[in-house]
Structure formats: structure tokens, C-alpha cells
Structure 1
Amino acid sequence: MNWLDAEGFEVARQVLQRGIAAVYVIAFLSAVAQFRALLGEHGLLPVPRYLARSAARGLTLFSWRYSDKLLLAVAWTGAAVAATLVAGLPQLGPPWLPMLAFLLLWGLYMSIVNVGQTFYGFGWETLLLEAGFLAAFLGSNEIAPPVTVLWLFLWLTFRLEFGAGMIKIRGDRVWRNLTALYYHHETQPMPNPASRYFHHLPKPLHKAEVIGNHFAQLVVPFFLFFPQPVGSIAAVIIIITQLWLVVSGNFAWLNWLTILAAAAALSDDALAAVLPGSPELTPDYEPTPIWFAVVVLAMTALMVYLSYWPARNLVSKRQLMNTSFNRWHLANAYGAFGSITRERYEIIVEGTADGVSWQEYEFRGKPGDPGRMPRQFAPYHLRLDWLMWFLALGAPGESWFIPFLRRLLAADRATLKLLRIDPFDGEPPRQVRALVYHYRYSTRQEKKATGLWWIRRPVGMFVAPMKKARSD
């Protein structure tokens, strides 16, 4: 089975296994911190009610029964197993050990995603599931990484980048006339500390950014499949552009998983050439067991079969974005920002204790207080904050936003923990309401004069004042 061995890609395997496992740690800990308030037994969109009225959209442990205790058991188990993979412990054993560990992560997290409803309706959820499934077949330190699995990671990277590039070209005209970044840094879902500075870069540089983006997403991905060192060079270009996105915004673990998937093209020799003085790796591999080779080839055949649908989607005029074509979340379609918002609107939630003076609730990540510097949260995912951005764009929110306001009226402790500031210190307000504000970054002169990061103006009422109903 020497033809199956990808010798010279040991660093790539270590980066893939440990990096993907690290993202799973973050994802499971996010579930520990947020799931019960959002989706638990008494959450905004309770899973028991969801399962009672309709079947889950895929395989999940919770179709048997849901409880908050079971959710915590699933999440903590996933985080613990993922932590052992980050430390490289299962990889020290036979190849079946890391395989079982990653398949367990895949199954546990899929159980969460498939009942997560709109709070788990993000493309990077399926991306994490697909990446974790592929990582299960990278083997252990005893054997060489299988070449077909590395190819599948390159195919994943291609779908991520080329799919995102095509959705942009086919979508908003600002990507075609190179003006998309006149708006994007200001209107993106959750700006970070550097986003305002990126927004104020000269417009010619913004156009150069868009050209660079098109090159990295529409041209470079083809070269991932070329012989070395071309494949490694293509991977480096993709990694650099993804790091640019990491520095300029908060996109949960999307960029980090793209970086990890692209690392599958990095050969040990290329890394040694770029990083002089790095230790040379000359692993003494054992022969790949026949059973493991059979399993890997069967999985590869399955993924090739499932890839028909995302491949067809890439060339379709009606390209779908962030779509799973099967119940296992494998061989998915990806893409982001096919359209760019030109102006930023925010939903600001307020409460009053006396019916006269209104005070703001502050969210952790989304813009609120104009004088507060945006924070860096990625790769952690603030699910409520993200949905507040979609809500301001006109996405349906009645199913969860009105229950959210009712939780504030009741001073629900679990809900208040999702926020940065509760102006009433745990006491229930008399009324709550939601207003719409227009936001823009302050100019350099305005920032110097006022210290404000944002300039905002009221637009109108989103939800009229609500008081606690007698039945609440």
C-alpha cells in the first residue's frame, strides 16, 4: 500500500488533526456557554418543542430525548475528547484510535447542529463537521498520512475558495466593479478592533483588496492540485488572504478552518525551505494496515460520489451558498458575502424601570455604545449577536426575538449571561423596547474630537414598548 502513503506531509497532518480538534474544543465550549439559553428546555427556541412538532433535519442523539443535562454531557464529552487530540494523545496509538475520536466528535457535534435551528444555521457548522469527518482518516503517527485524504482536504479548500469567489462574481455588482470593500468593513456582521482602520484605507487600496480576493479565490485554488512546490505556494497565498480576513473581522472559525484545510498542500520540504532551522522530519512509518487502507478507500469513494452535488452547484447559474446536500453534512457547498450591505443598521434593545428613563442592554460583540471599541471574539462564536445583525437586515426573528424580550422582562439569568451589560443588575425592568439606529464609522476628525468609534442616528421603532404579561 505504499502508493497510498503521502510521505513528506507529516507537518500537514499534525496541523490538520490538532487544528481541527482545537476548533472543536471552541465549538463545544460555545455550546456549554450558550446552548441552554438559546435552545435549551427553557431557551428562546426550545429543542423539545422543535422535536415535538417536526423531526430534526438530520441525525442527532436528541431525537431520542433532549434534556439540558444531556446537552451538557454531550458538549463536555466532545470538548474533552477534542482536547486529547489537540495534545496528540490518540495519535500516539494505532490508526483506529484517532479515527474513532474524530468520528465521535463528528457525531456529537452533528447531534447539536441538527437541533440548533437558526442559531446553528451557519456555513461554518457544516464546514467543521466535514473537516472533522475527513480528519478521522488521516491515521496516527505510526503510519504515513493517506494521500487520498489530503486530496479530499484540497477539494474541500477548492470548494470553500472557488465557491466563495463564484458567489461574489455572480452576485453583487460591487464585486465586479471592485467597490465591495468601500462598504464591507463597516457593514460586516461583527467588526473587530481593526475593522474601522481597514474601512478608512484609501479607495484604490480597497480595489486592490478586491482584485487580490478574486485572484486568491478564483485562480489560486486550481494550483493546489499541482506538484510541489506549486501546491505549497498556492496554499500559502490562500493562508495569507485568510489571515487578512482574521485581522479585519470576526467570522467565528470560518477563516481558521480554511487555513487548516489549505495546510494539506504544504509539504515538509516546502516548510523547511521557508522556515530555515526548523527540525527535519524523518518519521519511521510502519506499513499501512490493509484494513485501514480499505476503510480510507471506501471513505474516499463515498466522498467522490457525494461530491457530484457540490460540483454541479459550482457551475450552476443558481449557485447555492452554505448548503448541505445530505444528512451527514459531507461534501457541502460553501460561500460568503454574495451581496454586500451598503449601510449599517443596528437593533438597540432598551428597558425602563420607571416608564420614563430608558437604558440600553449591551451585547458582547455587536456594535452598541458608540464610544466602545469593537472587540475580537473570533474564533469564538457569539450566536445571539450574529442573529441580531441578520435581524437588522430584515431576516425573520419573531420566533426568537420576542421570546428574547420576554426573557429580559423576566430578568432571566441564563439570557442575561449572554449579554455584556444588564442595566438593571438582575432586576426585572418595567418595560422593554427595540429601536433601529443607523451606524457609520466616525471619521478620523470625529474620532479625535469625540473619542467615538461610531456615529449613530435613530431611525425608528422596531418593537414598541412591551410589559410583562400576567401569564409570563
Structure 2
Amino acid sequence: MDWTSWIGLLDAQDSWIAREIVQRGVAAVYVLAFLSTFHQFPVLLGERGLLPVPAFLDRVGGSAGPTLFRHVPYSDALLRGMCAAGMLLGLAVVLGLPQQGPAWSMLAVFGTMWAMYLSIVSVGQIFYGYGWESMLLECGALVGLLGSHAVPPPQLMMLFLLWLLIRLEFGAGMIKMRGDRSWRDLTAMDHHHETQPMPGPLSRTAHLMPRWWHRAEVLGSHAVQLGIIWLVLAPQPVASFAACAVIATQLFLVVTGNYAWLNWLTILVACAAISDGFWRWLLGGPFPGWSWFGVPLGADGGGAGADVSSPLWWTVLVAAAFVGLAVLSRKPLANLFSSHQLMNASFDRFHLVNAYGAFGSMTERRYEVLIEGTEDAAGHHADEETWRAFEFRGKPGDLRRLPRQVAPYHLRLDWQMWFLALRPGAEPWFVALLERLADGDPGVRRLLARDPFDGRAPTALRVRYSLYRFARREERSGGARWVATDLGVIARR
């Protein structure tokens, strides 16, 4: 066997469809991420934001992550320009334009989006401190190395996508088993749909399901995350069926909650385990034969582009990147089996190989922080009926309002309000938020669903603390979807 034949073994000839789905899907998520940043970043972190980037960089200096803004002074105009460029690049991939170029064209496009988004995440502070930010960066780095239509999908990068999927699912399963007894006694889902950060339209329906259903939810989660996930490394078509199990559980999370693009990215990465033959079978073709990582067993057939082979320089580049990523995988691998497992942690400054996980600790009660204002001249001594609440776009407030489906779009302020309710206190960003609302700041109010004062500055603000729960079926009179217990005023301004 000559060297060209050996290189051919590194081509995933049964993954052309998977590459197309993964690349275009990840690019679409980048478009959403840049769009979210375009609208929200200037208000939250801009020049006059709640946690301004210039002040942050002055304070932390070189300890901030890699960012363009360390070398070019930050401005809201520059930030929006980067977001616009990122959206255009992402849309180009969705439309399939860079895919028509040489192998390196996709690496250039995704590398640019990755670098710009890394610059944003590195200065995003608390508003960008989520696992799906690191996941998007890792996905961007990987799918750029899948190449264009000029070369077959590289086997090594498809394999690394499976390693990412295992870290996502198995890491989440282990953090649950180690972190909270409710996952071990199968009671975790008794409260999850009600207490999750941002419920969706079907969350109340899911919460009101019988206990046996909630036990089945936990068992299904454990089965996929702790067991079935390893089958993505099995020969085809077993790997494809395992990926479908992952996709099914993620779609359930999509329709019962709002987790930005986390579930959709997981679905896209899971598609890397589905062979072209399996896709054709789903569309009515013959059942796929057995293969190992896209190499048919006992046959010489290949995928859609079996007549295309990778040049030596591209194979060497991908192999070098794979070796580098494998070296960076040492700590994430050890973390999976550590008794002190970290959740949503990055072990390198570039977010190339990360640790993931969610809900290692479950909350059994839902608390809400409500911000109210009054225009009464008496200020804090105003009559109770003059106080009106600011409504957020995603977080619960009005008891009759149906929770919204906002994911895969990410409402960053709403998510921070959920964390604030768990540990109410004088968080710097929240103090700044109250100051902006008191001043009638138009930027902050654009992030809200309803401003009861139509842009006018209230004479006084107060912060209430409440215990929320879903209304039971017999409590729906009057259209209430939530029942709230007022726990009192915790702050005034």
C-alpha cells in the first residue's frame, strides 16, 4: 500500500452529509451569537454599559483572555462592526459559498469568526461566562478544519467532534451523579421544569406530568449520557442510532426550556456520528452496511465524493492540529473521571478543548427578583397601587404571561436575573441596572419586554423578592400560569 492509500484511510468518505450539516449549522449559530452580541453587548458591556469593557481592561490588564480590544481601543462602533462582519461570514457558509473554494477557505472563514468571538468572550465578564460560549468557540475551531468541498471530510476531525460530544454528554451525566442526590434517587425532574433559569411555553405542561414520567426523564437522561453516548464510537450503523438517541433527548430539552444554542450545538455535533448511508436510509434508501468510522467493512464503496482525495499538505495540517488538540485534551479527560470534576471549564486561554456539564446542583424552589417603579411624588412612600413592574423578555414576571420560547437566541440579562435570585445581593451589574432604570436609560429599556413608564424616569424604584411556582390545573382561574408568594422588599432606590 503506497502513501496515497494510507492518506485515503484518513478521509471520512461516508461523512460528506454530516460535514455539510455541521458546518452550515455551526455557522448559523455564529450568526445568532453575533446578532445577540450586536443588540445586547453595548448596553451590558459597552462604553456606557453596566460593566464597561474599557474599565474592565484597565482593571485586569493582561489577565484578560486573548482579545483584539487589548490592542485596539474598544468602542461600540468597532464592536458592532465586528458583529456585522461575523454575521456576513456565517451567512456565507450557510449559503454554501466558501465551501466552493480550496480546502483552506473554510479554515480562514471559521478562523476569523472564532478569533472575533474569542475577543468578545474574553471581555464579556459575567454575561459571557456560560458553557455554550466555550462550546461555540471549540466548534468553530474544529469545523474549520473539516475543509471545503475540494477535500473529503478528514477522519481525524470527525473523530475529534465525537470526543467533543462525549465530553458534553458524559461530562453532564457525571456532574449530575456526583453533584446532587436528586439525580441518584430519580427525583431531579420533579422540580427542574419549574425552577430552570428560563422556562418555555411547554415547561408548565412538562412540570405537571405525573411522577412516573419524571422518573422516566431522569432514567432516560442517565441512559443516554452515561451509557449510549459511548456507542458513537461503535461501528456504523450503531453509531448513527446512538447519535439519534442524543438528538432525541436534546430536542426534548429544546421544547421544554431555553438554553440559548447549547442544545442545538449538541444536536449538530451529534450529526457528526451519522453516516451518509444512514441519512440515505432515513430518506428511503437501502439499510446501511457495517463500517468503522466511515470505512466500509468488507466492501470498497465510499461516500458522495469517493473520487476526491486529500492532498498531502492538507492531511499533514489536519494531523498536526489533531495532535495539538489531543495534547490539550489531557486535562479535560482527567476532569471527566475526577472526584472534583469541574463544570463548564476551559483549560486553555483559547477555549479549544473544554469541560462541560450542567445542573450538578438542582434547585427545588424558584425565586424571582422583581423591579418596580413609581411616578408618585411621594417616592418610596407612594401608595401601593402606583407601583408598576418592569417586565423582562424571558424571565417570569406577570403571573398570566405564557413563558416565551427564545432559544437559540440568548437573553443575557434575563439569565443573570435568575442567578441573582439564587443569591440576592448588591452585584455591581445589578446596581448599575437600577441606576440606568432610574435615569430612564433608553438602551437598558430596549432589553426589556415592557417599560411601564414609556421611557420616563420614575421617582423611585424598589426590588421585591418573590417565590414563584407553576399554577396547578385547578388554580388556572383568571388565566394565571404562576402563583407567587411575596417575600418582601429587599432594596430601594
TM-score interval, smaller chain: over 0.9
Q: Please show how residues 269-308 of structure 1 align to structure 2 within 5 Å.
A: 269-276=277-284, 282-283=304-305, 285-308=307-330
- 1:359-370 map, 5 Å: 359-370=388-399
Q: Which residue of the partner structure matches residue 267 of structure 2? A: 259
Aligned to 1:413: 442
Partner of 2:70: 63
- Correspondence for 2:427 among 380, 391, 398: 398
Once the two structures are superposed, what CA deviation does each residue of 1:32-86 show, in whole Å capped at 9, x if it has no partner?
A: 0000000000000000000011135311101122111111111111111011011
Alignment check: 8 A CA contact 1:346 1:392 kept:
yes
Take 1:145 and 1:397, find their aligned partners in 2: how far apart are those partners?
A: 51
Distance (whole Å) between structure 2 residues aligned to residue 253 and residue 112 of structure 1 = 17
1:282 is displaced (CA, Å) by: 2.6
From 60, 84, 87, the equivalent of 1:54 is 60
For residues 150-189 of structure 1, the aligned pairs below 5 Å read 150-189=158-197
Cα shift readout 1:386-419 (whole Å, capped 9, x = no counterpart): 0000000016652100100000011111111010
Partner of 2:294: none
Letter paired with 1:295: L
* 1:199-214 paired onto structure 2 within 5 Å: 199-214=207-222
Counterpart-to-counterpart distance in 1, 2:478 and 2:172? 39
Structure 1 moving runs of 4+ over 2 Å = 280-287
Which secondary structure does the structure 2 equivalent of 1:369 belong to? coil
Are the aligned partners of 1:137 and 1:149 in contact in 2 as well (CA < 8 Å)?
yes
Q: Do the aligned residues in 2 keep the contact of 1:171 with 1:339 (CA within 8 Å)?
A: yes
Asked if 1 retains the 8 angstrom alpha-carbon contact of 2:23 and 2:143, the reply is yes
User: 1:470 is matched with which residue?
Assistant: none
Q: Quote the Cα distance in structure 1 between the aligned partners of 2:473 and 2:176.
A: 30
Q: Which runs of 5+ in 1 are unaligned?
A: 467-472
Deviation, 1:232, is: 0.5
Q: How many residues align?
A: 463
Is 1:340–2:346 an aligned residue pair? Answer: no
Aligned-residue Cα RMSD (Å) equals 1.3
Match of 2:137 in 1: 129
Report if the CA contact (8 A) 2:394-2:404 is conserved.
yes
Query: Which of the residues 25, 30, 39 maps onto 1:33?
Result: 39
- Separation in 1, partners of 2:150, 2:111: 19
8 Å contact kept, 1:41–1:47? yes
Q: Which residue of 2 aligns with 1:248?
A: 256
State how far apart, in whole Å, the 2-side matches of 1:289 and 1:108 are. Answer: 29
Instruction: Tell me the secondary structure at the aligned position of residue 355 of structure 2.
Output: coil
2:373 to 343, 348, 351: 351
Q: Distance in 2 between matches of 1:289 and 1:339?
A: 49
TM-superposed deviation, 1:293: 1.1
1:319 corresponds to which of 332, 336, 341: 341
Look up the SS of the partner of 1:41 in the other structure.
coil
Instruction: Give the whole-Å Cα distance in 2 for the aligned partners of 1:157 and 1:462.
Output: 43
| CA-to-aligned-CA distance 1:194-250 (integer Å, 9 cap, x gap) | 000000001011001100000010001111111101111110000000001001100
Separation (CA, whole Å) in 1 of partners of 2:59 and 2:306? 55
Deviations 1:431-450 (A, max 9, x none): 11111011000001111x22
1:192 and 1:374 in contact (8 A); partners too: yes
Give the letter for the 2:203 counterpart: S
What are the ranges of 5 or more consecutive residues in structure 2 without an aligned counterpart? 1-6, 287-301
Q: Distance in 1 between matches of 2:335 and 2:106?
A: 32
2-side partners of 1:275 and 1:46: how far apart? 51
Partner amino acid for 2:143? A
Q: Deviations over 1:180-207 (max 9, x none)?
A: 0100000000000000000000101100
Equivalent residue for 2:296? none
Partner of 2:481: 453
Q: How big is each residue's C-alpha offset from its partner over 1:3-44, in whole Å with a ceiling of 9 and x where there is no partner? A: 110001111000110000000000000000000000000000
> For the structure 1 residues 8 and 396, does the alpha-carbon distance in structure 2 shift closer, same or farther, using more than 3 Å as the test?
farther
- Rounded Cα–Cα distance in structure 2 between residues aligned with 1:245 and 1:291: 42
1:412-451 map, 5 Å: 412-447=441-476, 449-451=477-479
Asked whether the 8 Å contact 2:15–2:303 carries over to 1, the reply is no
Give the Cα–Cα distance (whole angstroms) in 2 for the partners of residues 154 and 277 of structure 1.
25
The answer to whether the Cα contact below 8 Å between 2:170 and 2:229 also exists between their aligned partners in 1 is yes
| SS across alignment from 2:348 | coil
TM value normalised by structure 1? 0.96
**Structure 2 letter corresponding to 1:14:** E
Residue identity matched to 2:232: L
> Match of 1:27, as an amino acid?
A
Q: Distance in 2 between matches of 1:395 and 1:77?
A: 38
Q: Which amino acid aligns with 1:82?
A: G
Shift of 1:286: 3.0
Deviation (angstroms), 1:462: 2.4
Alignment check: 8 A CA contact 1:144 1:285 kept: no
- Within 5 Å, give how 1:215-234 maps onto structure 2: 215-234=223-242
How many Å apart are 1:141 and its aligned residue? Answer: 1.0
